[in-house]
Amino acid sequence: MIPPGKTLGILGGGQLGRMLAQAAQSLGYRVHVFEPAGPCPAGAVADKEVNAAYDDIAALTTFARACDVLTYEFENIPSAPLAAIAGLAPLYPRAEVLHICQNRQREKAWLRANNFPHVRYAEALDGDIAPAIAVVGRPCVVKTADFGYDGKGQMKIASDADLEQAAAIFRGRRCVVERWVDFSREISAIVARSSTGETKVFPIAENIHTRHILDFSIVPARVSPPVTHEAETLAVALAEKIGVVGLLAVEMFVTTGGEVLVNELAPRPHNSGHWSLDGCETSQFEQHVRAVCGLPLGEVTVREPTVMVNILGDAWRWQEGRVIGDPSWGAILAAPRAKLHLYGKTEPRPGRKMGHFTVRDADIATALTRAQELKQKL
């Protein structure tokens, strides 16, 4: 066990690192943040911020030596530098887990090899997507294997014209091609597994994406008890099989036939778990700290049905490509059982996650209606 008072090192300095740092500090830990581009949202709240490239082994070594335990909030950290600091302080989740989850081709191959239900897919590793599209059939979606998030590096293919366009865009890039899923719901399960082997799954979230970016998370998810049970069971089985210590977020599709298919894994706090800051006995950030430090895991009961809404840079007032005003925060600040969370980012950009808000109510339908109304008023 790494007790309160020790130092947690976080690789990555975005909003996930910021909320993780705040949770760790509430438990009495010191927090150091390593982020290439400073000043960063996590650095603003941390006890120490180090700005250096991930492949600056000397800087990373000095950073790791000053920490008692290390974690990350960002998946696209190259594996060679992580290998270089192995042994200086425990790193959770282990580098092997990150290696699988940071690349779609490895992640899907791992799901397939371990018989977890996943979306039908084919690999296009030589940059020629046509044969893979012929295998999975249309409609389908092409995704780059590396460095994709929030729908970046993805394209849906239905027509011949789409195929021609995609062939040019993705030529020479390592890709996977996935069958398009006719889903009735998108859901996610966030499971915590501690260094002692204890596991706990947060209540299942239902996620609504707009232009491939998470828009709303709704908890509890509006799915049947068998689907909830299946999603929870899958999440625990995945966490145990991959041997995660910390959080594992599992994004899933519920098909129109009621089948649950795994879409993506993330070994870190996840946007679809932000509701837990206000709606759950323990937040996902506190749970991650508890898990990587070997503390008992916290209770994950829902306090009240909760809806989380992302606030993107689009919510600022724009004119001719320039920001001319802030969103009007007043309605959220004045609303009962609503909470505003901003990440301290100074430069709004379209599609950039600037913050989120939550709305709680006695039933989920009312919470969702109120959340939609408040979003309109931004």
Interface with ligand AMP (CB under 6 A), residue from 38, 117, 151, 294: 151
164 or 182: CB nearest ligand AMP: 182
Please, are residues 245 and 194 in contact by the beta-carbon 8 Å criterion? yes
Taking the C-alpha atoms of residue 74 and residue 10, their distance in angstroms, rounded to an integer, is 9
367 binds ligand AMP (CB under 6 A): no
209 binds ligand AMP (CB under 6 A): yes
212 binds ligand AMP (CB under 6 A): yes
Residue nearest to ligand AMP (CB): 181
60 or 111: CB nearest ligand AMP: 111
**Stretch of 44-52, 83-91, 176-184, 304-312 contacting ligand AMP, by CB under 6 A:** 176-184
Angle of CA points 197, 62, 345, to nearest 5°: 80
How many other C-beta atoms lie within 10 A of the C-beta of residue 362? 10
186 or 278: CB nearest ligand AMP: 186
Interface with ligand AMP (CB under 6 A), residue from 73, 230, 251, 286: 251
Tell me the closest approach of the beta carbon of residue 13 to ligand AMP, in angstroms.
22
**Stretch of 174-182, 309-317, 331-339, 362-370 contacting ligand AMP, by CB under 6 A:** 174-182
Size of the site for ligand AMP (CB under 6 A): 12
Interface with ligand AMP (CB under 6 A), residue from 35, 49, 107, 186: 186
264 or 286: CB nearest ligand AMP: 264
Q: Tell which positions 42-101 bind ligand AMP, by CB under 6 A.
A: none
From residue 36, alpha-carbon distances to 19, 93, 253, 344 in Å are 18, 20, 34, 17
Interface with ligand AMP (CB under 6 A), residue from 199, 228, 263, 283: 263
Q: Tell which positions 109-128 bind ligand AMP, by CB under 6 A.
A: 119
Please, are residues 317 and 326 in contact by the beta-carbon 8 Å criterion? yes
Interface with ligand AMP (CB under 6 A), residue from 178, 230, 278, 361: 178
Taking the C-alpha atoms of residue 55 and residue 53, their distance in angstroms, rounded to an integer, is 5
Interface with ligand AMP (CB under 6 A), residue from 21, 141, 191, 308: 141
Q: Which residues contribute to the site for ligand AMP (CB under 6 A)? A: 119, 141, 151, 178, 180-181, 186, 209, 212, 251, 263-264
